[in-house]
A = this chain, B = another copy of it.
Amino acid sequence: MATIKDSVHDHIEVTGVAEELLDTPAMQRLRRIRQLGTVSLVYPSANHTRFEHSLGVYHLASQALDHLGVAGRTAERVRAAALLHDVGHPPFSHNVEHLLYRRTGKLHDDVDELVASGRVGAVLRDHDLDPAAVADLIAGDGRYGQLVSGELDVDRMDYLVRDAHHTGVPYGTIDHGRLVRELTFRDGELVIAEGNVQTAESLLLARALMNPTVYQHHVARIGKAMLRRATERLVDDAGHDPERVRRWDDADLLVTLRRTDATAALADRLSARDLYKRAVWAELDDVPASLREADHERIRELERAVATDADLDPGAVILDVPPAPEIRESSSRVVVNGEIRRLDRQSPLVSALRTAGRNQWRFGVYAPAGAVDRVGRTAVRTLGLDIDGALVSDVRRGLDATLDEFG
């Protein structure tokens, strides 16, 4: 058994298959992938990695399994999946994930191949665990898949408290100790036991508050957009194989970007935190549906159009169109007065989260600081935004004020 000191959960005891998995290069790579990518440009203490997060998820999964009374091979499989659940992350975590997905067809939780091959596969087989079954758990399938990847999963419990600890933003400070104790199976489904509506609500509310404050902070989004643009050029123009880039760590990507002609300028800007600024920052209702639903190619076209209209280099404008706010139903279940109820039916707060996502959605147009006024006016016209063009720079001045704060 290895005992590892963690800044969030204190002592984490790692045993069995997990102890051996920890020593594989695939797991050790996660030490060099920041959990929150460019968020550290806003919150300078947020340098924690996927490695310590993976240990935390393993730790909470172990505790939950103990409370659920699950032991033996089943438990070993779930613990292996918990430890390995992020092994497929590309450098800078989610920041370049979709870009690589468009070229490789793989997201970070598509790890069948990864956990079946190399040292990881060997360790799993040595412990009589089927890599495919472990990969299924990571994808959220099977009876225990919900524990590893679902609305009440231990992944979310760990990242909320960990991100709070490292950013200093307290909204993520949930009562994970209680959540882990109150998970239970009813009719084959993972639910939260009687008397815990607030326990369940708090998990979803914590995420709803961390989302705009941390994960989608506009400075982090600008950094991410610049990183994505640079990485795209690295793959498309400089010929780097996306399958290899996917296996890099943050250092590989950053240094390669800096040492490649086509990307050096953007990479140096990122290194010096000389970021683009917001030329437009628009709410959902102000953005035409055609733009919100545009595909990747169409967005590239529009970027070039705005840049050209504003007399800028065709690559100097970035359009940042987040996916439509999710309106899927919450799958969390709680027990109230002896019956299983859907959390969003029981909790008006949770059902309000859907609308909240809509209100938090923002479309951004980014450009170098000196050009934002011009780009803003041009973009409103070119993109057909429902904003009075004359007002753009006024609104921008208001936004600039908030840039100071953590900006």
Q: Which residues of A contact B (CB under 8 A)?
A: 1-8, 10-11, 23, 25, 28-29, 31-32, 34, 40, 43-49, 51-52, 55, 165-171, 173-175, 177-178, 181, 194-195, 197-198, 201-202, 205, 208-209, 212-213, 249-252, 254-256, 271-274, 337-338, 346-349, 351-353, 355-356, 359, 394-395, 398, 401-402, 404-407
Interchain Cβ contacts under 8 Å between A and B, 6 examples: A3-B404, A6-B45, A170-B174, A205-B349, A346-B359, A349-B352
Q: Is there an interface contact between A198 and B209, defined as CB atoms closer than 8 Å?
A: yes
Known A-B contacts A7-B166, A254-B251, A395-B337; the reply to A47 vs B44 at CB < 8 A is no
Does B213 contact A338, Cβ atoms closer than 8 Å? Answer: no
Take A271-B32, A353-B349 as given contacts and tell me if A173 and B175 are in contact as well, using a CB distance cutoff of 8 Å: no
* B194, A402: Cβ atoms closer than 8 Å: yes
> Which residues from B are CB-within-8-Å of A167?
5, 7
Beyond the given pairs A23-B273, A194-B402, A208-B349, 20 more chain A to chain B contacts, judged by CB atoms under 8 angstroms and listed by A's residue number, are A1-B404, A3-B404, A5-B167, A5-B169, A5-B406, A7-B166, A10-B168, A25-B272, A28-B273, A31-B44, A32-B271, A44-B49, A169-B175, A171-B175, A198-B213, A205-B349, A249-B271, A255-B255, A347-B359, A349-B356
Contacts of A348 in B (CB 8 A): 352-353, 355-356, 359
Inter-subunit contact B45/A8 (CB<8 Å): yes
Closest to A395 in B: B337
Q: Verify A209–B201 contact, CB threshold 8 A.
A: yes
Does B359 lie within 8 Å of A3, measured CB to CB? no
B7 A168 Cβ-Cβ under 8 A: yes
| Contact yes or no, B349 A4, CB < 8 A | no
Bound CA span A212–B200, Å: 13
Chain B residues within 8 Å of A28, by CB: 271-273
Residue of B nearest to A353 (CB): B349
**Distance (Å) between the CB of A60 and the closest chain B CB?**
13
How far is A121 from B249 in the complex, measured between Cα atoms in Å? 34
Known contacts: A49-B44, A209-B205, A395-B337. The answer to whether A181 contacts B353 by CB under 8 A is no
